[in-house]
Amino acid sequence: MSDSSPDKPTSPNFDAALDFRSGWSYSEAPESSDYIELDENYGHYIDGRFVQPSKGRYLESINPATEKSLAKIADGTGEDVDAAVKAAGKAFKSKWSGLPGRERGKYIYRIARMIQEYARELAVLESMDGGKPIRESRDVDIPLTAAHFFYYAGWADKLEYAFPGRKAEPLGVCGQIIPWNFPMLMLAWKIAPALATGNTVVLKPAETTSLTALRFAEICSDAGLPDGVINIVTGAGQTGSNLVNHPDIDKIAFTGSTEVGKIIQKSLAGSGKRYTLELGGKGANIIFEDAAIEQAVEGVINAIFFNQGHVCCAGSRLLVQESIADLFISRLKDRMETLIVGDPLDKNTDIGAINSKAQYDRILNYLEIGVEEGAAIYQTQAELPKSGYFCRPTLFTDVGQSNRIVNEEIFGPVLTIQTFRTPDEAVEKANNTPYGLSGGVWTDKGSKIFQTGRALRAGVIWSNTFNKFDPTSPFGGYKESGVGREGGLHGLYPYVHLTS
């Protein structure tokens, strides 16, 4: 080999393992939370004002990064839910449903603008309450929240164009239950289309992440939204059950686990209530041998480690073509070693805190299950804070279709890796799951993208990217990943009764 050969190594250490610990360091870059003012206790937001819970019971809202209490939130009962539903029903009949679409749009647009105005405060509060890195809440969650309100504000006076030849009538009072992984964004997915179509809302946020929803209630009040149009009742699972089973609820929208979704579906059977269910997932991310390796590695990092893996559509199953598997896994491990696990309010942090002690224990249990089943575990050497619920980025190799960590949703920063030889094998493995929410295809061949994408039984397919969202695009799944769609024009359908 001549000296000019492009194959000749240019460094004497070309075969040494990459070292990201000894030569690189970041100075702390904390986002200040000094200006965040929290009340000691928070009541429910019903009929335009905050009220104390009927039984006087409260739940602790814990900062998962410090394990310290942020505030106490009301634990809603059947009486609280009933009061909120009555307020929403009164507002629907006397104010909101008869308001012209252009006037409803003005309110929604005003809310969107105020979310932008308070974006920094909302982002910090989201990270404190939920544990997600400030970079994500600042650059993804809150901007997308505002974008959804802007988008549906535009539809409010254009429903005749959304449903040409038909008249769209609102359903009435919508009960909405949102999860803890994207509190503000899920709130927007549910509330914005409901308001645009003339419905009123009773929302129950997750008990571990209610603070931004309560701050949103204050924004609605400051925006001049008529009393009773939006009501927020906090509490645990029983509060949500009371909302689902209330006789005066016309529509249920739920985002959460498949197990709870099945319970809700059974409860609503025969009731005549409309419902949409956005449930769990176990997304397959397929890497073909002709994919751009570095781009695909970055996409895999985003697919599974974004928001600590607390994403229903996360690419938690990686399928790599056999011919590039060793190279790809090596590059992936190198990239994982650069990830910083730490304080969610530090702008350097890539992976924040696990949302709660219960979820943290669930993830650790699955790590033990993976090892017991014979899978090979790899975790980074990331330093973890001494307090809080933190988990190192993890991947498992030597797994099969029967492994529980391959089949069951872990909802954490845990990736399983399998190999395949042919596109048909990749599709067969990808579809061999009870879920059908998302999938990814990485290749430089457009025909392969379309062929594989058509064969995947999932509601959302990304090509050469992952976890990209837009308010104009519908989102939802097949099989045990749910029923119905949210976002885009499709997101209006569940909230209207269409007549010719």
Query: Over its length of 500 residues, how does the chain's per-residue pLDDT go in tens digits?
Result: 444 444 444 444 444 556 656 666 788 888 999 999 999 999 999 999 999 999 999 999 999 999 999 999 999 999 999 999 999 999 999 999 999 999 999 999 999 999 999 999 999 999 999 999 999 999 999 999 999 999 999 999 999 999 999 999 999 999 999 999 999 999 999 999 999 999 999 999 999 999 999 999 999 999 999 999 999 999 999 999 999 999 999 999 999 999 999 999 999 999 999 999 999 999 999 999 999 999 999 999 999 999 999 999 999 999 999 999 999 999 999 999 999 999 999 999 999 999 999 999 999 999 999 999 999 999 999 999 999 999 999 999 999 999 999 999 999 999 999 999 999 999 999 999 999 999 999 999 999 999 999 999 999 999 999 999 999 999 999 999 999 999 999 999 999 999 98
Q: What is the pLDDT of residue 27?
A: 85
Q: Please name every residue paired with 497 in a beta bridge, in sequence order, or none if there are none.
A: 169
Which of 300, 299, 243 has its CA nearest to residue 275?
243
Is there a contact between 246 and 175 (Cβ–Cβ < 8 Å)?
yes
Q: What is the pLDDT of residue 28?
A: 87
Structure confidence at residue 297 (pLDDT): 98
Residue-by-residue DSSP string for 381-400: -----SSS-----EEEES--
Q: Judge contact between 365 and 329, C-beta under 8 A.
A: no
Measured distance CA(466)–CA(487) in Å, rounded? 17
CA distances from 388 to 66, 244, 355, 382, 495 (A): 5, 33, 10, 15, 40
Cα separation of 263 and 6, whole Å? Answer: 62
Range list of β-strands (E), 298-342: 317-321
Rounded-to-integer distance, Cα 76 and Cα 210, Å: 12
- In the structure encoding, which two tokens stand for residue 183, read together? 């509190």
Indicate left, alpha or beta for 67 from its phi (over 0: left) and psi (-120 to 50: alpha): left
pTM of the model: 0.94
Of 312, 391, 480, 486, the active-site residue reads 312
40 is catalytic: no
Q: Where are the beta strands (DSSP E) in 265-351?
A: 274-278, 284-287, 317-321
The secondary structure element, H or E, covering residue 341 is none
pLDDT at position 3 is 44
The answer to whether 420 touches 322, Cβ cutoff 8 Å, is: yes
Given the DSSP bridges, would you call strands 438-442 and 284-287 parallel, antiparallel or unpaired?
parallel
pLDDT at 323: 98
Q: Which domains does the chain have, with CATH numbers?
A: 41-279+481-499 (3.40.605.10), 284-470 (3.40.309.10)
CB 249 within 8 A of CB 225: no
Q: Is 486 a catalytic residue?
A: no
**Catalytic member of 278, 409, 480, 486:** 278
Nearest to 345 by CA among 92, 10, 33: 33
Do 71 and 39 meet the contact criterion of CB atoms below 8 Å apart? yes
Is the distance from CB of 198 to CB of 97 less than 8 angstroms? Answer: yes
- The DSSP code for 225 is P
